[in-house]
Amino acid sequence: MKLKKWETALAAALSLTFLCGAALAGEQSELSDKIIRLHVVANSDSPEDQAIKLEARDSVLASLGPILDGARGADEAARRTIANLGAIEDAAKSAVPSGTEVRAELTSEYFPTREYETFSLPAGRYTSLRVTLGQGAGQNWWCVVFPPLCAPDSGEGIGDLLTDGEVALITEEDAGCVVKFKAIELIGRIRNWLGAD
């Protein structure tokens, strides 16, 4: 059976798309292995709970500074975080009303593409320090705590932890990053839907 020109072109385009997608997914996976994200989930969407979420975030970020200072990689940062989950919960509890349940855990979560003021992260599965306040039914807040990209001095020393290509990818120095991120997000959603992650 002989294929028509358009069928051959379509097959070639699909093959190229899947190859590029696999390469992009690999790029995201390598990056995610070096990053720990902070995910703070509010009790509810009420203005009061959203304000409390931001106060808890600030307390958690302040507590993480000494915990993660000097960590030489995401594995070491993860070990330090796990060893200090109680202290992290206590930091969050200091910002919430008395009696409010706070849960902190280090887990793996799927995140969509996220653009911050000075950098962007492609969609994918990342190690996450998830801090849930109360019912955890409200809007959330997230950023990167390792390397420390949430803090006011964020970005200092990340060149020691990420490759030049990874820094260029997240800081949008690569003009094609938006297209790449959308492709990575599409592939990630399909993989997540299929349960391949």
Report the share of the chain in percent with pLDDT over 70: 61
SS3 172: coil
Q: Which pairing describes strands 140-146 and 36-41: parallel, antiparallel, or unpaired?
A: antiparallel
- Convert the pLDDT of each residue in 83-125 to its tens digit: 999 999 999 999 999 999 999 999 999 988 887 777 778 888 9
pLDDT of residue 46: 96
The more confident residue out of 160 and 51 is 51
pLDDT at 179 over 50: no
pLDDT of residue 92: 97
CB atoms within 10 A of CB 130: 19
| Gap between the Cα atoms of 93 and 27, Å rounded | 37
Q: Kindly state the tokens that stand for 30.
A: 């390598």
Query: Residue 66: is the preceding peptide bond cis (ω within 30°)?
Result: no
pLDDT of residue 64: 95
Q: Where are the domains of the chain?
A: 34-194
pLDDT at 56 over 80: yes
- What one-character DSSP code corresponds to residue 79? H
Place of tokens 């991120």: 181
pLDDT at 78 over 80: yes
